[in-house]
Amino acid sequence: MSASVSALADMNAKVAGANAQASAAVTEIANLQPDNGNATIMASNTAALKDARTKIQAAQQDLVAARQDSGSIVKALIAAKVSASATASTSAQ
């Protein structure tokens, strides 16, 4: 079960990392300006878009890794055959 706990911690870290990367990408492209033919602004926009794309790709890779972790957690739970049961009894006096 400790492997599952470790996988869960890794999955949570990967999802948090993906969220941070995606947020950083959105923040970066929020300030894009129309270039109106200005090559300097166009170059700045292009650089921002390329960097944002790199961040989105990193976020996607984090999500792929998180999905693999979730699969290993499910397999471990199935292998452990986790079950819960309860019994109750009553008696009248």
Per-residue pLDDT of the chain (93 residues; tens, 9 = 90+): 688 899 999 999 999 999 999 999 999 999 999 999 999 999 999 999 999 999 999 999 999 999 999 999 999 888 887 565 666 666 665
Cβ-contact 21, 57 below 8 angstroms: no
pTM, two decimals, is 0.77
| Domain extents in the chain | 2-80
- pLDDT number for residue 43: 96
- pLDDT number for residue 51: 97
- In this structure, the number of other CB atoms found within 10 A of the CB of residue 34 comes to 9
